[in-house]
């Protein structure tokens, strides 16, 4: 187990820039998610840490030592591939034992370690199955067992859950997190699914067009996005254009809102998360502090525990999440007021 750091990594494929000066510290024993849209360079970064790609620039350290010239097979990593990549000519035991055999561990010692790993992924007794006799979730577990049985210094996973259906995926998220905690291995998990990243990781790094645009704990990134891109990519955000004047922003859709910090630029975009907004019917308004925007309900989506309102404010549709506290639904076409706090009104420059 070890911490991993990447320094100033860049990689071009022909004219495509896959990675652009990425630096990051993956601390020992933590669970990291690399999150970003498709094509943002997540896989490239992961494969570079594994050693399958070599950077054009920059360097990679594992356990404090430079590994730039160490080939994959000597890096002592564990990797789980999107399509599991189980060896079809070997049964479960041989698959999981492969890395041990390569390291000269065989016989009863190998069997013991394999059994331990299979128990960890809750697949005891599956030793003699062939990969094609397993379900998707089971293959995933075998792939995981195979990757961790050698006690690698770092575990790398490239969208390992994306081939599973939703129920199985949620189950595997919990399992994976439990296993990671049990083993205490530094884990780097690549995903384009923000929910996966938020629920599983200790730290998230967000990639966009080859650049690491922000990193931090899930709560930190969610509450304090540094750019419109991050605000929209992680969670949902209502974006309202406006003109800044001191700590006030005059919105294009009408009305003025306050922000906590004073924007340094005149043209701004305010970002407000749907769940930070409360909604009240116009005739029942009993609150006046904080920011307020008027609108009209277009429609609502009821899903039991919560309600989503789509509210027309000027030429913009604002999304509002409300907990289903009262069991009461505001009907379409009602005039409403939306309230949100200045500290939840984040401002970004309008590019």
Partner 1 sequence: MNQRAAILSLITPAYLWLALTILLPLSAMLYYSFLSDVPIGNREVSWTTENYRTFFEKAFYSELMLRSFKLGAEVTSICLLLGFPCALALAKSIRGRTKEALFLLIILPFWSNALVRIFSWTMVLRGNGILEYSINWLLPGTGPLDLMFTYPAILLGLVHSYLPYMILTCYISIDAIDNQLLEAARSLGAGKLTILFRLIVPLALPGIVAGSFLIFIPVIGSFMEPRLLGGRNGTFIGTIIEDQFTAVFNWPLGAALSFIMMGLVLLILFGFSPLVRRLK
Ligand X SMILES: Nc1ncnc2c1ncn2[C@@H]1O[C@H](COP(=O)(O)OP(=O)(O)O)[C@@H](O)[C@H]1O
Closest to partner 1 by CB, 45 or 204: 45
Applying CB under 6 A, the residues found at the interface with ligand X are 13, 16, 18, 36, 38-44
Strands 203-208 and 31-35, by their bridges, are parallel
Closest to partner 1 by CB, 8 or 54: 54
What is the closest distance, in whole angstroms, from the C-beta atom of residue 158 to partner 1 in the complex? 10
Q: What are phi and psi of 291, to 5 degrees?
A: -85, 150
Residue 77's binding partner out of Mg ion, partner 1, ligand X, none, with CB under 5 to 8 Å set by partner kind: partner 1
Q: Which of 43, 91, 95, 150 binds Mg ion (CB under 5 A)?
A: 43
CA dist 186 → 3, 61, 75, 210, 337 (Å): 7, 13, 14, 23, 47
| Residue 131 near partner 1 by CB under 8 A | no
**In the window 290-349, what residues touch Mg ion (CB under 5 A)?**
none
Residue 146's binding partner out of ligand X, partner 1, Mg ion, none, with CB under 5 to 8 Å set by partner kind: partner 1
Picking from 315, 236, 318, 240, the residue whose alpha carbon sits closest to that of residue 278 is: 318
Strands 154-158 and 77-80, by their bridges, are parallel
β-pair partners for 15: none
**Exposure of 288 in the CB half-sphere (CA atoms within 13 A):** 0
Closest to partner 1 by CB, 156 or 179: 156
Size of the site for partner 1 (CB under 8 A): 24
Closest to ligand X by CB, 162 or 280: 162
What is the closest distance, in whole angstroms, from the C-beta atom of residue 29 to ligand X in the complex? 25
**In the window 34-73, what residues touch partner 1 (CB under 8 A)?**
50, 52, 71-73
Cα–Cα distance for residue pair 160/143, rounded to 1 Å = 9
Token duo for residue 3: 């911490």
Q: Are 41 and 207 in contact (CB under 8 A)?
A: yes
Residue 39's binding partner out of ligand X, Mg ion, partner 1, none, with CB under 5 to 8 Å set by partner kind: ligand X
Q: Which of 89, 167, 288, 289 binds partner 1 (CB under 8 A)?
A: 89
CA dist 59 → 75, 158, 215 (Å): 14, 21, 19
**Exposure of 18 in the CB half-sphere (CA atoms within 13 A):** 18
Q: Which of 146, 169, 215, 276 binds partner 1 (CB under 8 A)?
A: 146
Cα–Cα distance for residue pair 201/44, rounded to 1 Å = 20
Residue 150's binding partner out of Mg ion, ligand X, partner 1, none, with CB under 5 to 8 Å set by partner kind: partner 1
Closest to Mg ion by CB, 43 or 271: 43
Closest to partner 1 by CB, 89 or 289: 89
**In the window 166-195, what residues touch partner 1 (CB under 8 A)?**
none
Closest to partner 1 by CB, 153 or 276: 153
Q: Where are the beta strands (DSSP E) in 217-330?
A: 238-245, 248-251, 256-258, 267-272, 278-281, 291-302, 306-313, 316-323
Place of tokens 């007794």: 125
Phi-psi bin for 84: left (phi > 0), alpha (psi -120 to 50), beta? left
Contacts with partner 1 by CB under 8 A lie at 50, 52, 71-74, 76-79, 81, 83, 85, 87-89, 98-99, 102-103, 146-147, 150, 156
Contacts with Mg ion by CB under 5 A lie at 43
């Amino acid at each position: 187990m070890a911490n991993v750091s990447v320094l100033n990594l860049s990689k071009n494929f022909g004219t495509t820039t896959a990675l652009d000066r990425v630096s990051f510290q993956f601390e020992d024993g933590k669970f990291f998610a690399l999150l970003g849209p498709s094509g943002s360079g997540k896989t490239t970064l992961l494969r570079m840490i594994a050693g399958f790609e070599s950077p054009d620039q920059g360097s990679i350290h594992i356990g404090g030592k430079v590994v730039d010239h160490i080939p994959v097979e000597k890096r002592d990593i564990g990797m789980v591939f999107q399509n599991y990549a189980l060896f079809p000519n070997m049964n479960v035991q041989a698959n999981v034992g492969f890395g041990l055999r390569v390291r000269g561990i065989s016989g009863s010692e190998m069997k013991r370690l394999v059994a331990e790993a299979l128990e960890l992924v809750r697949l005891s007794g599956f030793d003699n199955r062939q990969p094609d006799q397993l379900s998707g979730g089971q293959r995933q577990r075998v792939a995981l067992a195979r990757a961790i049985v050698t006690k690698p210094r770092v575990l790398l996973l490239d969208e390992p859950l994306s081939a599973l259906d939703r129920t199985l995926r949620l189950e595997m998220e919990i399992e994976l997190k439990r296993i990671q905690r049990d083993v205490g291995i530094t884990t780097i998990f690549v995903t384009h699914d923000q929910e996966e990243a938020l629920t599983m990781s200790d730290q998230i790094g967000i990639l966009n067009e080859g650049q690491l645009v922000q990193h931090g704990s899930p709560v930190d990134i969610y509450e304090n996005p540094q750019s419109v891109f991050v605000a929209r990519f992680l969670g949902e955000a209502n974006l309202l254009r406006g003109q800044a004047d001191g700590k006030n922003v005059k919105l294009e859709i009408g009305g003025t809102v306050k922000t906590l910090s004073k924007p340094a630029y005149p043209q701004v975009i305010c970002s407000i998360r749907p769940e930070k907004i409360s909604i009240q019917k116009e005739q029942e308004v009993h609150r006046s502090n904080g920011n307020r925007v008027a609108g009209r309900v277009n429609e609502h989506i009821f899903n039991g525990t919560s309600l989503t309102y789509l509210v027309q404010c000027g030429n913009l549709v604002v999304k509002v999440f409300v907990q289903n506290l009262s069991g009461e639904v505001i009907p379409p076409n009602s005039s409403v007021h939306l309230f949100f706090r200045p500290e939840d009104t984040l401002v970004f420059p309008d590019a």
